[in-house]
Structure 1
Amino acid sequence: MAVRTILHYPEPVLKKISKPVVHFDEALKQLAADMVETMYDAPGVGLAAPQVGVLQRVIVMDCSGKENPPDLIVAVNPVLVETEGESCEEEGCLSVPEYYAVVKRFSRVTMNYQDVDGNPRQRQAEDLLAVAMQHEIDHLQGILFVDHLSPLKRSIFRKKYQKLMQQRDEE
């Protein structure tokens, strides 16, 4: 396992659509293991393969929090098959460090996916895990959480984010 570099906005690969995984081999297992280590190291609750520069449909998540036992999900070729309700929660992203915004999402979802061996799986979620699933699947479509903001808020984001990154570079 290895901690990989997390790409930051406006890196072009973050806006590209990922390809479905067709080979369930050791390279996939290594990618998933590296992503898990990278996510925990960051620390974050989710990570998608494009965030580490790999355009494959792979996401990892663990929304259990520090007080609970780990609840790691490694999802290959994930698809939301049911959605319901509405949630407006503040989101952040490892690829958009130090910026948070309220995003409208579904409050409950059902996700079909495959594990790293290609076995079909299904997981239902609500609250934070449901938001994380939607957020990470968006990454596979080249969508960042800031893309869900209104045009005005996106414009404000770009200006604020540019300042944040300049301050970060100066430190």
Structure 2
Amino acid sequence: MAILEIVKHPSPILTAPCEEVTVFDEELGTLLDDMHETMIENDGVGLAAPQIGKSIRVAIVDFDEEQDIIEMINPVVTATGGAEVDVEGCLSFPGLFGEVERPFHVRIEAQERDGRLYELEAEGYEARAILHEIDHLNGILFDKKIQRIVDPSEFEEDEEGDE
């Protein structure tokens, strides 16, 4: 596996809609493995192919070791519900954090690395991360959805209050 370079804003690849994946082969599997390794190395919870310079509809989300990695190839949002505002960041925008409103619930259809179709439903933080990555595949960046910029020092204050 390889650690890939994260593409930073304002690279034009980040705002271009991605091409559908039509070939499900060993190269795609290697790309997914490299994306996961890159995401972990950069302390992320999600990564989309344009963030590593590939304009294809591939994204991953991984919250912790107890859950499987969510690999989304050609994902389509089939339903959403509710709404909530929470803080987001993005590996392509180092140091930028902001409050973004997103649906609380999402249902998607996507393909596995071998091309098999699957459906997934998620809520809360998991839904937020999935929708953030699917936005990347559509050329939509979170900075356009920020309602309020959040200074990183606000995170430190929250952590101190939790002790």
Normalized against structure 2, the TM-score is what?
A: 0.88
Cα deviation for residue 71 of structure 1 reads: 2.8
Cα deviation for residue 58 of structure 1 reads: 0.3
Q: Which residue of 1 aligns with 2:79?
A: 82
Q: Give CA deviations for 1:71-94 in whole Å, capped at 9, x if unaligned.
A: 311110011101000010100000
Q: Structure 1, unaligned stretches of length 5 or more? A: 161-171
Q: Which residue of 2 aligns with 1:127?
A: 124
Match of 1:148 among 127, 141, 145: 145
For residues 101 and 149 of structure 1, the distance between their equivalents in structure 2, rounded to whole angstroms, comes to 5
Cα deviation for residue 149 of structure 1 reads: 3.2
Match of 2:97 among 91, 96, 100: 100
Cα deviation for residue 12 of structure 1 reads: 1.2
Q: Determine if contact 1:48/1:139 at 8 Å carries over to the other structure.
A: yes
Count of residues paired in the alignment: 151
Q: Which residue of 1 aligns with 2:15?
A: 15
Seq. identity, %? 42
Q: Which residue of 2 aligns with 1:42?
A: 42
Cα deviation for residue 148 of structure 1 reads: 1.3
Q: Which residue of 1 aligns with 2:58?
A: 58
**Structure 2 residue identity aligned to 1:81:** T
**Structure 2 residue identity aligned to 1:25:** D
**Structure 2 residue identity aligned to 1:115:** E
Q: Structure 2, unaligned stretches of length 5 or more? A: 152-163
The secondary structure found in structure 2 opposite 1:97 is coil
For residues 7 and 121 of structure 1, the distance between their equivalents in structure 2, rounded to whole angstroms, comes to 29
Q: Give CA deviations for 1:7-36 in whole Å, capped at 9, x if unaligned.
A: 111111111110000000111111111101
Q: Determine if contact 1:63/1:128 at 8 Å carries over to the other structure.
A: no
Which consecutive segments of 4 or more residues in structure 1 shift more than 2 A? none
For residues 135 and 26 of structure 2, the distance between their equivalents in structure 1, rounded to whole angstroms, comes to 26
Q: Which residue of 2 aligns with 1:28?
A: 28
Q: Which residue of 1 aligns with 2:109?
A: 112
For residues 26 and 99 of structure 1, the distance between their equivalents in structure 2, rounded to whole angstroms, comes to 35
